[in-house]
Amino acid sequence: MTYLIIRLATLGNVAMTVPVVASLSKRYPNDRFIVASKKKLEAMFAPFPNVTFREVDNHLDWHGVWTLWHELRDEADAVIDLQKVPRTIVLGALMRLSGKPVTRIRYGRLQKHLITTFGIGRKQLPSEFARYRETFLRAGLETDETFEELPKNDTVAKAVTEKFGEKEGRWIGLAPFAKSRSNMLPYRVTKDIIAQLTKNEETKVFLFGAGKVECEMLRQWAKVFPRTESVAGKLQLKEELELMRRLDVMICMDSANQHLASLVGLRAVSVWCATDPIIGFAGWKQNPADIIHRHDLRCRPCTCHGTNHCRYRNYACRQLEAETIIEHI
Q: Is the dihedral of CA 305, 307, 311, 312 positive or negative?
A: positive
Same domain, 127 and 159: no
Spatial neighbors of 313 by CB under 8 A, at least 6 apart, are: none
CA dist 89 to 63, 94, 268, Å?
14, 9, 34
Query: Which range among 52-66, 81-95, 160-174, 186-200 shows the weakest confidence by mean pLDDT?
Result: 52-66
Burial of 235 (0-12, 13-18, 19+ CB in 10 A): middle
Q: What is the pLDDT of residue 10?
A: 87
- The type of residue at 131 is R
Q: What number of other Cβ atoms are within 10 A of residue 323's Cβ?
A: 12
Q: How confident is the model at residue 109 (pLDDT cuts 50, 70, 90)?
A: very high
Same domain, 175 and 128: no
Q: What is the pLDDT of residue 58?
A: 66
Cα separation, 327 vs 227, in Å, equals: 20
Kindly tell me if the per-residue pLDDT of 14 is higher than 70.
yes
Can you give the CATH number for the domain in which 96 is found? 3.40.50.2000
Contact 163, 320 (CB under 8 A): no
Q: What is the pLDDT of residue 211?
A: 85
pLDDT digits (tens, 9 = 90+) for 238-287: 999 999 999 999 999 999 999 999 999 999 999 999 999 999 999 999 99
Cα separation, 171 vs 194, in Å, equals: 12
Q: What is the pLDDT of residue 61?
A: 83
Q: What is the pLDDT of residue 60?
A: 78
Q: Chain-wide mean pLDDT for the chain?
A: 95
Determine, yes or no, domain membership for 131. yes
- Of 93, 110, 138, the one marking the end of a domain is 138
Query: Which residues sit opposite 250 in a β-bridge?
Result: 173, 268
Look up the domain containing 117 and give its range: 2-138
Same domain, 57 and 161: no
The rounded percent of the chain whose pLDDT value lies above 90 is 93
- The type of residue at 263 is L
Please compute the mean of the pLDDT values over residues 144-172 and round it to a whole number.
Answer: 96
Same domain, 6 and 123: yes
Please compute the mean of the pLDDT values over residues 62-89 and round it to a whole number.
Answer: 93
- Report how many domains make up the chain: 2
Determine, yes or no, domain membership for 144. no
Q: What is the pLDDT of residue 39?
A: 87
- Of 111, 138, 165, the one marking the end of a domain is 138
Same domain, 85 and 160: no
Cα separation, 137 vs 182, in Å, equals: 35
Strands 249-253 and 170-175: parallel
